[in-house]
Amino acid sequence: MVNLVLVLGDQLSNGLSALAAANKQTDVVVMAEVGDEAAYVPHHPKKIAFIFAAMRKFAQRLQADGWTVAYTRLDDAENSGSITGELLRRAAEHGAAEVHATEPGEWRVIAALNDAPLTIHQHPDTRFLASHAQFEAWAEGRKELRMEWFYRDMRRQTGLMMEGDKPAGGKWNYDHDNRKAPPKIVDFAGPMQFTPDETVQEVLDLVASRFDNNFGSLDGFAFATDQGQARQQLAHWITHALPQFGDYQDAMLEGEDYLYHSLISFYINAGLLDPLEVCQRVEQAWKGGHAPINAAEGFIRQIIGWREYMRGIYFLEGADYTKRNVLNHTRDLPGLFWGKETGMNCVSQTVDQTRKTAYAHHIQRLMVTGNFALLAGIDPYQVHEWYLAVYADAYEWVEAPNVIGMSQFADGGIVGSKPYISSGNYIAKMSNYCKGCRYNVKTKVGEGACPFNLLYWDFMDRHRARFEKNPRMAQMYRTWDRMDDDKRAKIISEAGDWLARMDAGEAV
Ligand code: FAD
Ligand code: DLZ
Ligand code: SF4
């Protein structure tokens, strides 16, 4: 009996549960580059190129390892254009009875597999530390699902940076030491650059010819595209940047796209790196005295804490999560997210970097573009689709809770206890963007006022009923109330005018 084994573009892992459930001698692995997956949002060309190149190389590896692989290229004449279409076609071709799949990371694809007229076994995705049942049990009966408590359980479960049942160094969390303003000089040259080999070059030509109209540049593609290269990037980053990672985790510097960040989310999320192994390597570096505790703990928390927690929330909350909009924000996503000119240097730098690299680090995503979208009242579903499209590490299970939850507060406070909003002050403190800006961050209202300053108070005022009782926001409402009436009215009126000009397509 022949069965099929489905391997999706973000499931490029040796120990994948679908492969473990199959028989190498008799079964056929199905991998397919399909129009549906390439177009459910207008993905950045670098993201598509990365996924297709990594898929092709993973298929080659499986074949070398003795598997039979039925691989569909995007431009194959028989390509049906969808994952289920390809499964049906291959099932008929090989007379296959059933399909082994690993549960996809998106409700849309899970539903498509459930609805297909085939017997498809969706095995749990064991590349994560916490199963759905485990996360549900953790969430059960809690009033608030705070990441910190979940993270501590993950530390205990993995034993990472633990001394018996106590956290190494006596504290669970060293975040306090991870908020330094940007350094004068960044002594890390950034991620490794991998020259495209023949497989990658072929994909680049395909993507250039088919996805030329998508937002994003394909120029200078130098991502790792297989497990060996991804491991090299990890080792390179541990050697050269991990020691500084903690200190400057939240900093932003014009012209420094990467600072001390690891740039491994592309690889972990596609399956080329194993998250636990990554954390063990970082723990070893700390134990060997190569990196300070705040760097190692800060990094490990992102992976076994935030990453796992976000996935838990996505699957706990269900398929309607991306449609949540508790703040009733309805403004259309303005053109400046797609590169239209704006005088806001922080936004323009972040969007342009995104266009060039398909990457921005956490604080750029949260406190520049995300903060702006939230303050401006943009429809969170449109914001979600933008993030899903433009970042090479974006798959819905991780992107949606970060955007709908953490960044846009559209889930009403499941992920965050208060909205991540700030005036221009935060950006001025954590970056040098304001120096090159048309606006003045110190100006709160009137000529040249930083839009983040105007929009911040406008947001606070619009959402007073919801937030004024939030103890973490009460102080800001007191500050607002201390301003005289004229000033408050002027801020509201200028914010409205500024937004109207943006909506009308002016280069604000
Ligand atoms: P580093 O800063 O070096 O961090 C190390 C690793 O920790 C990352 O590789 C990632 O695996 C993990 N990590 C850190 N923060 C998070 C987080 N909040 N959620 C999940 N994992 C985390 N991350 C994605 O992987 N895909 C997304 O689509 C995505 N969308 C985001 C959207 C918004 C609005 C925000 C605020 C954050 C988003 N993140 C997303 C989280 C974070 O920005 C990226 O994981 C990180 O920037 C990736 O770059 P890096 O590998 O250099 O990370
Ligand atoms: C993101 C993506 C893209 C662009 N293309 C493909 C593809 O052609 N074939 C495929 O198997 N997977 C692709 N992916 C990844 C899927 O969209 C991803 O597996 C689902 O969204 C579930 O996370
Ligand atoms: Fe951004 Fe305001 Fe600073 Fe300009 S002044 S870079 S808009 S925070």
**pLDDT tens, 209-218?**
999 999 999 9
Residue-level pLDDT at 176: 83
Helix H or strand E encompassing 120: strand 119-123
Q: Is the pLDDT of residue 178 over 80?
A: no
352 Cα–ligand 2 center, Å:
25
Residues 6+ apart with CB under 8 A from 160: 279, 280, 283, 300, 304
Q: Which residue owns the Cα nearest ligand 1 atom 8? A: 265
How would residue 109 be classed by pLDDT, with cut points 50, 70 and 90? very high
**pLDDT tens, 122-156?**
999 999 999 999 999 999 999 999 999 999 999 99
Mean pLDDT of all residues in 8-27: 97
Q: 432 with 254: CB under 8 angstroms?
A: yes
Burial track 155-170 (b if 16+ CB lie within 10 A, e otherwise): beebebbeeeeebbee
DSSP, res 402: I
Give the separation between CA 182 and CA 179, rounded to whole angstroms.
Answer: 9
Of 338, 487, 312, 302, nearest to 405 by C-alpha is 312
Mean pLDDT of all residues in 32-50: 98
369 Cα–ligand 2 center, Å:
25
Six-digit token string for 16:
């994948």
Check pocket membership of 441 for ligand 3, CB cut-off 6 A: yes
Residue appearing with tokens 């606070």: 460
Mean pLDDT of all residues in 282-305: 97
Q: Is the pLDDT of residue 116 over 80?
A: yes
How would residue 185 be classed by pLDDT, with cut points 50, 70 and 90? confident
Best of 4, 5, 7, 8 for a ligand 2 pocket test (most atoms within 8 Å of beta carbon): 8
Q: Is the pLDDT of residue 184 over 90?
A: no
Percent of the chain exceeding pLDDT 90 equals: 96
Residue-level pLDDT at 331: 98
Q: Is the pLDDT of residue 259 over 80?
A: yes
Q: Is the pLDDT of residue 256 over 80?
A: yes
461 Cα–ligand 1 center, Å:
31
Give the separation between CA 461 and CA 339, rounded to whole angstroms.
Answer: 29
Ligand 1: nearest atom to the Cα of 370: 34
**pLDDT tens, 358-392?**
999 999 999 999 999 999 999 999 999 999 999 99
Q: Which residue owns the Cα nearest ligand 3 atom 5? A: 441
Ligand 2: nearest atom to the Cα of 10: 19
Residue-level pLDDT at 261: 96
Give the separation between CA 9 and CA 104, rounded to whole angstroms.
Answer: 10
pTM of the predicted model over 0.95: yes
Give the separation between CA 42 and CA 55, rounded to whole angstroms.
Answer: 19
- Provide residues with CB under 6 Å of ligand 1: 261-265, 268-269, 299, 302-303, 306-307, 310, 361-362, 365-366, 370, 387, 391, 393-394, 398-399, 402-403, 406-407
Check pocket membership of 43 for ligand 2, CB cut-off 6 A: yes
Give the separation between CA 461 and CA 377, rounded to whole angstroms.
Answer: 12
Give the separation between CA 223 and CA 469, rounded to whole angstroms.
Answer: 47
Q: Is the pLDDT of residue 448 over 80?
A: yes
Say if residue 23 is exposed, middle or buried (CB neighbours under 10 Å; 0-12, 13-18, 19+): exposed
Six-digit token string for 119:
């017997």
Q: Which residue owns the Cα nearest ligand 3 atom 3? A: 434
Residue-level pLDDT at 91: 98
Across 152-253, where does the E strand assignment appear?
162-163, 166-167
Q: What are phi and psi of 120, to 5 degrees?
A: -120, 120
207 Cα–ligand 2 center, Å:
15
Please report, in angstroms and rounded to a whole number, the separation of the first and last CA atoms in the chain.
64
DSSP, res 169: G
Residue-level pLDDT at 258: 95
Residue count of the chain, please give it.
Answer: 508
Calculate the alpha carbon distances from 137 to 142, 309, 440, 477 in Å.
Answer: 10, 13, 49, 37
Q: Is the pLDDT of residue 319 over 90?
A: yes
Mean pLDDT of all residues in 298-312: 98
How would residue 270 be classed by pLDDT, with cut points 50, 70 and 90? very high
Six-digit token string for 177:
């030491």
Check pocket membership of 430 for ligand 3, CB cut-off 6 A: no
Ligand 3: nearest atom to the Cα of 347: 1
Check pocket membership of 147 for ligand 3, CB cut-off 6 A: no
Six-digit token string for 91:
């099932």
Residue-level pLDDT at 323: 98
Q: Is the pLDDT of residue 177 over 80?
A: no
Q: What are phi and psi of 167, to 5 degrees?
A: -70, 140
Residues 6+ apart with CB under 8 A from 288: none
Give the separation between CA 441 and CA 429, rounded to whole angstroms.
Answer: 10
Check pocket membership of 27 for ligand 2, CB cut-off 6 A: no
Residue-level pLDDT at 175: 84
Check pocket membership of 423 for ligand 3, CB cut-off 6 A: no
Residue type, 178: N
Of 370, 380, 350, nearest to 452 by C-alpha is 370
Map residue 497 onto helix, strand or coil: helix
Of 450, 448, 446, 402, nearest to 423 by C-alpha is 450
Q: Is the pLDDT of residue 1 over 90?
A: no
230 Cα–ligand 2 center, Å:
19
Ligand 1: nearest atom to the Cα of 406: 36
Task: Kindly list the structural domains of the chain, giving each domain's residue range(s) and its CATH number in brackets, ordered by start.
Answer: 4-123 (3.40.50.620), 132-190+241-314 (1.25.40.80), 335-503 (1.10.579.10)
85 Cα–ligand 1 center, Å:
32
Calculate the alpha carbon distances from 489 to 249, 457, 483, 484 in Å.
Answer: 37, 11, 10, 9
Residues 6+ apart with CB under 8 A from 93: 70
235 Cα–ligand 1 center, Å:
19
3-state helix, strand, coil in the chain (%, to 5): 50, 5, 40
Average pLDDT over the chain reads 97
Ligand 2: nearest atom to the Cα of 105: 23
How would residue 182 be classed by pLDDT, with cut points 50, 70 and 90? confident
Ligand 3: nearest atom to the Cα of 433: 6
